[in-house]
Structure 1
Amino acid sequence: MILDIILIVGGLVLLYYGGDLLIGGCLRIAQHYRVSPFVIGATVMGFGTSAPELAVSLLAVLEGSPEVAMGNVVGSNIANVGLVLGITALLVPVTIAKARFRLEALPLLIATFLLTWLAWDQVLVRWEGLLFLLGIGLYIARALQDKEESLLQFEDEMKWFRGKPVAFQFVLIVIGLALLVAGARGMVVGGVSIARTFGISEWFIGITIIAVGTSLPEIVSSTLSALRGHGEMALGNVFGSNIFNIFMVLGATASIDVLAIQEPIHADLIFTTALTCLLLVLISLKHQLGKVAGGVLLICYTSYIAAKGFNVF
């Protein structure tokens, strides 16, 4: 029990400092290359925090478990919108410029609807995987063309890393991501052990502790970004993470082997598409996610988990 508590506390510390390093490095790279904070959040931060999903899905396919790979992507995308942005918006309003939102909403919609369309027959073949990989290539190429007119201002943040070269900032990002993953794992391992000690069911552990644990990198990085006034980076993190999960994770896995799913996934595909559309509608109303919107997203997420638990669909 004592070791489990140490793991949880240590995990929290690693998450905080990992998020600090990740955001600091991302902001300075955005400043150096005059790239939009949203783009940095959607590429460097979003892709980085989704690296665990890529590793899990690739391993699942190599071990003959395509359901795990598909479920990992769909479940992660639902958690990113409902849980990550729900929590972030409840803590601090997340804003995005109108022009930026119009530009970035379309790629997310395309990726989401393309997933629903191609996976509707519960099979992803190699050519569909290659199509997804083409999608992530086009998305990155487009993002790199996006330059920011004005430099970011964050002189009070992480002063001890100010003035370091760009290569050093990339090292900070890698270290930050490693600390985030290690911190999330520490919290999951410690939390699962304590839950089992008190006789909590495996299913409940899976949909709460493990689900939250695998989303902790996104939660921490998005929340810290928003708290520091970089709401576009927080949204970019989720947008980029979801696009990366669809195009890169499923693209890579389906290119290796055909993903044939046995269990019905139509309701899950509909839900992730509907939740994504709801997010975009909520943002378009005021170009901001406030407490009400955050509460709505969290209610949607918890309702989905409850429905899955009671086998409603």
Structure 2
Amino acid sequence: MSIVWIILGLLLLVVGGEFLVRSSVALSFKLNISKMVIGMTVVSFATSAPELLVSLNAALTGSPAIALNNVIGSNIANIGLVLGITALVSSIAVDKSFYKLNWPVMMIFSLALYYFLWNDNQLSGIEGAVLFIGLIVFLIVLIRSAKKDVVVEEVDESLAVVSNVKIIIWLLIGAAALYFGSVWLVDGAKELATTLGVSDAVIAATVIAIGTSVPELAASVIAALKKEKALSLGNLIGSNIFNIASVLGLTSIIKTIPVTDASILDKDIFWMLAFAAILIPLILIPKKMNISRYKGLILVIAYGAFIFLAFKGA
């Protein structure tokens, strides 16, 4: 039954996320916010809503390991699974903004998360606020540099003419779906962990992380098939930054997140740092600014090793 709750929870999160994105974009058009700013901020925050609700629900219901490893596992999956499979479908060209801005910022946030957790075995409200303020600063820099050909999220311009009533209905549907989806997913994950005899942290880093990465995987593969090279890497790096800074940042502001499972600091967070760090040598060696199919295969194999060792060591 736990698998059923997990699947239903994931489906509701996908539906809720989609309705929230559409209503948020439509509302932003009503407020005369520019398309560029909508793509960089509104869409990015809205697409992080499912992870935010899962982490917040887990933290508030006494499962901090799920709150932390939901993000850590998602960041690993974004690079190892999503980017790896996307590169297998079609090699990805990388622009200079990746190593000049996006990658360094992702590494700074990843290392900051590690330090905050290692320092006192918890992510406090003050530390969460530091992460979230850092995200705001990053977005301001990103928006200012957007005129220099920075790729932004696609924004559906047809949403500019949506009625106020429809926006409210979409918001209510999105909010309800996200709430119940997060509750069912967290409850199902706890039940599955008990059934398999593993920790909440393992389920969060594997099953939940893969589930919440499925929409990004689908979008990235479709983009690769359509030869839309600009998509994929920038969006995945942005997603990892948002996961740490907005999901864990906002969750810890509401409730301090303690480290209750030793594997989070002993193993999982080092996997996240390793997957983030390996991108630079992968992109620069041997062919610069390119993630080829065999590099994608390396990422997928490494992700498979992470999943295997996560369950083996559980």
TM-score over 0.5 (shorter chain): yes
Are the structure 2 counterparts of residues 58 and 210 from structure 1 closer, same or farther at C-alpha, using a change threshold of 3 Å? closer
Matched pairs, number = 266
What secondary structure, in the 3-state scheme, does the structure 1 residue paired with 2:146 have?
coil
Are the structure 2 counterparts of residues 236 and 151 from structure 1 closer, same or farther at C-alpha, using a change threshold of 3 Å? closer
Query: Is 1:270 aligned to 2:270, yes or no?
Result: yes
Query: Is 1:60 aligned to 2:58, yes or no?
Result: yes
Are the structure 2 counterparts of residues 79 and 167 from structure 1 closer, same or farther at C-alpha, using a change threshold of 3 Å? farther
Q: Deviations over 1:140-187 (max 9, x none)?
A: 2222212345799xxxx9xxx88x47566xx99x98xx7xx99xx8xx
Q: CA deviation at 1:104?
A: 1.9
What secondary structure, in the 3-state scheme, does the structure 1 residue paired with 2:261 have?
coil
**2-side partners of 1:44 and 1:216: how far apart?**
21
Q: Which runs of 5+ in 1 are unaligned?
A: none
**2-side partners of 1:104 and 1:150: how far apart?**
14
1:299 to 285, 296, 301: 301
Native 8 Å contact 2:74 2:205 kept in 1: no
1:26-41 mapped onto 2 (5 Å cutoff): 35=36, 40=39
1:103-118 mapped onto 2 (5 Å cutoff): 103-118=101-116
User: Partner letter of residue 215 of structure 2?
Assistant: P
Q: Which residue of 2 aligns with 1:124?
A: 123
Native 8 Å contact 1:46 1:236 kept in 2: no
Cα-Cα RMSD:
4.1
User: Partner letter of residue 108 of structure 1?
Assistant: M
Q: Deviations over 1:219-271 (max 9, x none)?
A: 11222233333333211221111111111111111112221112112221111
Q: Which runs of 5+ in 2 are unaligned?
A: none
Are the structure 2 counterparts of residues 243 and 150 from structure 1 closer, same or farther at C-alpha, using a change threshold of 3 Å? closer
**1-side partners of 2:136 and 2:305: how far apart?**
35
Q: Which residue of 1 aligns with 2:237?
A: 239
Q: Deviations over 1:50-71 (max 9, x none)?
A: 3211011111122222221111
**2-side partners of 1:165 and 1:49: how far apart?**
16
Query: Is 1:97 aligned to 2:95, yes or no?
Result: yes
**1-side partners of 2:203 and 2:81: how far apart?**
16
Q: CA deviation at 1:311?
A: 0.4
Native 8 Å contact 1:94 1:231 kept in 2: yes
**1-side partners of 2:88 and 2:283: how far apart?**
14
Q: Which residue of 2 aligns with 1:248?
A: 246
User: Partner letter of residue 134 of structure 1?
Assistant: I
Identity %: 32
